[in-house]
C-alpha cells in the first residue's frame, strides 16, 4: 500500500516537472510580437466601450489588425499567447453582441475585401474609361474587351452584402455609371458606323440643297416675293426634315469627332452641311418675325403710292405706266407680300383680311384705269423680246408651236419667240404627303411665247411652259394653256404691233 502511494506521488511530481518544462519562456521574436499586440490592444480597447453600428467598420478594422498581430506569434500554446487570443475573441463576441440584427463582422470584412478589389479594378481601367467612345466600341476587339471588363465589375459587385455600407454605396454608384457608359456605347456603336447610313449621300445633298434654297439675304424685300412665297410654302416640311436629320446624325458626328475614328471625314462633311443649312433656316425664321412686325405699314405705304400713281397715269394719259411694268410690278409686289403675310399669320387673321380688302379696292381702281386707257395701252403694248441664245432655239420653238397647233388648230400663230435668255434650272426636294419622306427634283424651265389674232384690230400673247427633267434623260414636257379665256396669263396688243 505504501509502495502504491509512493508511485502515485512520484507520478504527480513527474507531471508537474514535465508541465513546468513545457512552459518555456518566449523567445525574442514572440516577445516582440506580443509586445506590439499588447500595445495595439490597449490602444483599441477603449474604442469598444460604446459600440454603435456606424463604428462597426472601424472596430472590425481594429480586430483585423489585432488578428494580424496574433498571426506573427508562433508559440500558440504559451499562456500569454492563449490569453491574447481570448482577448481578441472577447472583443469579437462583444462586437457581435452589440451589432446583433445588423451586418455580421464576417460580412463587413467581406465587403471591405471586395471594396478593395473593386477599386483595384477601377483604377486599372479608369483612364481608358474616361476616353471610351462608341467609335471605339464599334471595333469588335474593343467591344469584346469591354464586355469582359464589365463582367469583372459585375462579379465583384455581386459579392457585396451590405448595401448600406458607405464604401459599398459609392462602389455601386460608380458601377452604375460604368455600366451605363459601356452599354450605351455598345448600343451606340452601330450609330457611328457609316455602313448603317445608306442614305448618307442623299441626306447630305438634301441639306446642301436646303442651304442653297434658303441662303437669300433680305428674302422679304422688293423683288423677292415669288421666292418668299415658295419658301413659306415649304418651310414647315423643310424644318421638320432638317430637325429629323440633325437628330439622326447626332450620334454619328459625336462618335466620329476624333481624327482617328473611321467616319471622321464623313462626320465632318455632315456636320458642315447641317451647320450651313441650319444657319440659313434660322435666318429665315428670324426674317419671318421681322417681316410680320414690319409688313403692315410697308404694304399700306406701297398701296398708297400705287394708288397715287394710277390716278396720275389716268390724269396725264400715261399708258406706258401700265405696259412698262411700273404699276403692274407694284401690284405683283403688294400681292406677293400679302400672300407671305397670310401664309405666316393665316388668311383669317384680322390684319390680313383688312389689307386684303384694301388691295381688292386698289385692284378695281387699276382695272378701271386700264379700261379708261385701253386704247392707249393697246397702242403702247409691243411684242416681247426674243432673247434666247441657245443653239436649239428653233427646235424648241417648233416643239412648242406643234403642241399649240394640236390644241388650238383654228388659232394659227402669228409670231413666236423666247423672251428668257436661257433655261432656268431648279434643283429642289419635295415631299410625299403620305409618308413625309422627301425626294429630289431636278428640272429646267423655259417659256415660249406665241401671238395669235383675236379680232380685226387685236392680237393676244400667250405663254407655253416647257420643263426639262434632268433625272429622266432631259426629257421635255410641254404645257399649252387649254382655256384661253380663263385665268391664264395673257397680254393684248394692237394687231398692227405684231411684226
245 in a structural domain: no
DSSP state of 195: G
Q: Are residues 25 and 61 in the same domain?
A: yes
What pLDDT score does 325 carry? 66
Cell numbers for 204: 447630305
What pLDDT score does 404 carry? 96
Q: Are residues 152 and 96 in the same domain?
A: no
304 in a structural domain: no
11 in a structural domain: yes
Q: Are residues 79 and 132 in the same domain?
A: no
Cell numbers for 343: 401664309
Banded model confidence at residue 133, pLDDT cuts 50, 70, 90: confident
Q: Are residues 93 and 132 in the same domain?
A: no
397 in a structural domain: yes
pTM above 0.85, yes or no: no
Q: Are residues 46 and 115 in the same domain?
A: no
pLDDT over threshold 90, residue 230: no
Q: Using DSSP, state whether 491 is helix, strand or coil.
A: strand
Q: Are residues 96 and 113 in the same domain?
A: no
320 in a structural domain: no
Distance of alpha carbon 345 from alpha carbon 350, whole angstroms: 9
120 in a structural domain: yes
pLDDT over threshold 70, residue 221: yes
Q: Are residues 87 and 118 in the same domain?
A: no
What pLDDT score does 7 carry? 44
Banded model confidence at residue 99, pLDDT cuts 50, 70, 90: low
264 in a structural domain: no
Least Cα distance to 59 among 68, 69, 49 occurs for 49
Q: Are residues 94 and 183 in the same domain?
A: no
Q: Choose the weakest-confidence range: 17-21, 60-64, 72-76, 349-353.
A: 17-21
pLDDT tens for residues 338-350? 999 998 989 999 9
Q: Are residues 65 and 9 in the same domain?
A: yes
Q: Are residues 84 and 129 in the same domain?
A: no
Where among 175, 192, 209 does a domain terminate?
A: 192
Provide the domain limits for residue 421.
393-497
Q: Are residues 173 and 81 in the same domain?
A: no
What pLDDT score does 425 carry? 92
Where among 69, 102, 135 does a domain terminate?
A: 102
Distance of alpha carbon 91 from alpha carbon 169, whole angstroms: 27
Averaged pLDDT for residues 152-166 = 92
Distance of alpha carbon 167 from alpha carbon 160, whole angstroms: 10
Where among 157, 175, 192 does a domain terminate?
A: 192
Least Cα distance to 178 among 190, 189, 186, 138 occurs for 186
Banded model confidence at residue 205, pLDDT cuts 50, 70, 90: very high
What are the Cα distances from residue 343, in Å, to 192, 286, 352?
40, 15, 10
What are the Cα distances from residue 201, in Å, to 211, 252, 418, 476?
15, 14, 37, 27
Q: Choose the weakest-confidence range: 2-6, 234-238, 285-289, 382-386.
A: 2-6
Q: Choose the weakest-confidence range: 299-303, 314-318, 324-328.
A: 324-328
Banded model confidence at residue 115, pLDDT cuts 50, 70, 90: very high
Q: What's the number of domains the chain is made of? A: 3
Cell numbers for 272: 458642315
pLDDT tens for residues 169-195? 999 999 999 999 888 888 777 788 888
270 in a structural domain: no
Burial of 68 by CB count in 10 Å (0-12 exposed, 13-18 middle, 19+ buried)? exposed
Q: Are residues 128 and 176 in the same domain?
A: yes
Amino acid at each position: 500500500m505504501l509502495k502504491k502511494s509512493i508511485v502515485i506521488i512520484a507520478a504527480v511530481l513527474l507531471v508537474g516537472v514535465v508541465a513546468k518544462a513545457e512552459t518555456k519562456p518566449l523567445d525574442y521574436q514572440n516577445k516582440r510580437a506580443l509586445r506590439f499586440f499588447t500595445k495595439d490592444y490597449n490602444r483599441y480597447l477603449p474604442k469598444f466601450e460604446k459600440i454603435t453600428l456606424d463604428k462597426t467598420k472601424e472596430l472590425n478594422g481594429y480586430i483585423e489588425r489585432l488578428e494580424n498581430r496574433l498571426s506573427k506569434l508562433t508559440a500558440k500554446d504559451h499562456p500569454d499567447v492563449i490569453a491574447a487570443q481570448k482577448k481578441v475573441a472577447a472583443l469579437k463576441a462583444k462586437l457581435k453582441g452589440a451589432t446583433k440584427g445588423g451586418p455580421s463582422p464576417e460580412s463587413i470584412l467581406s465587403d471591405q475585401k471586395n471594396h478593395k478589389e473593386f477599386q483595384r479594378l477601377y483604377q486599372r481601367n479608369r483612364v481608358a474609361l474616361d476616353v471610351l467612345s462608341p467609335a471605339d466600341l464599334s471595333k469588335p476587339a474593343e467591344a469584346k474587351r469591354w464586355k469582359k471588363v464589365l463582367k469583372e465589375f459585375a462579379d465583384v459587385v455581386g459579392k457585396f452584402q451590405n448595401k448600406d455600407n458607405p464604401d459599398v454605396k459609392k462602389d455601386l454608384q460608380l458601377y452604375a455609371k460604368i455600366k451605363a457608359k459601356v452599354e450605351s456605347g455598345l448600343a451606340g456603336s452601330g450609330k457611328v458606323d457609316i455602313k448603317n447610313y445608306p442614305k448618307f449621300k442623299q441626306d447630305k445633298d438634301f441639306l446642301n440643297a436646303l442651304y442653297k434654297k434658303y441662303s437669300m439675304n433680305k428674302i422679304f424685300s422688293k423683288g423677292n416675293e415669288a421666292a418668299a412665297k415658295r419658301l413659306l410654302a415649304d418651310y414647315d416640311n423643310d424644318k421638320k426634315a432638317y430637325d429629323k436629320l440633325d437628330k439622326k446624325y447626332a450620334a454619328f458626328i459625336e462618335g466620329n469627332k476624333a481624327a482617328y475614328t473611321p467616319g471622321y471625314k464623313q462626320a465632318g462633311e455632315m456636320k458642315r452641311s447641317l451647320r450651313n443649312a441650319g444657319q440659313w433656316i434660322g435666318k429665315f425664321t428670324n426674317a419671318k418675325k421681322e417681316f410680320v412686325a414690319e409688313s403692315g405699314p410697308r404694304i399700306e405705304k406701297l398701296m398708297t403710292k400705287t394708288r397715287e400713281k394710277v390716278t396720275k397715269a389716268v390724269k396725264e394719259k400715261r399708258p406706258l405706266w401700265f405696259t412698262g411694268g411700273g404699276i403692274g410690278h407694284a401690284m405683283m409686289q403688294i400681292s406677293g407680300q400679302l400672300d407671305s403675310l397670310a401664309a405666316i399669320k393665316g388668311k383669317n387673321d384680322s390684319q390680313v383680311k383688312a389689307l386684303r380688302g384694301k388691295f381688292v379696292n386698289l385692284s378695281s381702281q387699276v382695272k378701271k384705269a386700264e379700261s379708261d386707257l385701253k386704247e392707249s395701252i393697246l397702242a403702247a403694248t409691243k411684242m416681247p423680246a426674243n432673247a434666247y441664245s441657245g443653239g436649239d432655239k428653233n427646235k424648241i420653238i417648233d416643239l412648242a408651236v406643234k403642241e399649240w397647233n394640236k390644241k388650238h388648230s383654228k388659232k394659227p400663230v402669228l409670231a413666236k419667240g423666247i423672251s428668257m435668255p436661257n433655261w432656268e434650272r431648279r434643283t429642289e426636294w419635295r415631299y410625299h404627303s403620305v409618308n413625309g419622306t422627301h425626294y429630289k427634283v431636278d428640272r429646267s424651265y423655259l417659256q415660249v411665247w406665241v401671238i395669235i389674232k383675236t379680232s380685226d384690230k387685236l392680237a393676244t400673247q400667250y405663254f407655253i411652259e416647257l420643263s426639262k427633267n434632268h433625272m429622266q434623260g432631259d426629257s421635255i414636257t410641254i404645257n399649252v394653256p387649254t382655256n384661253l379665256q380663263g385665268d391664264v396669263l395673257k397680254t393684248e396688243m394692237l394687231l398692227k404691233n405684231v411684226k
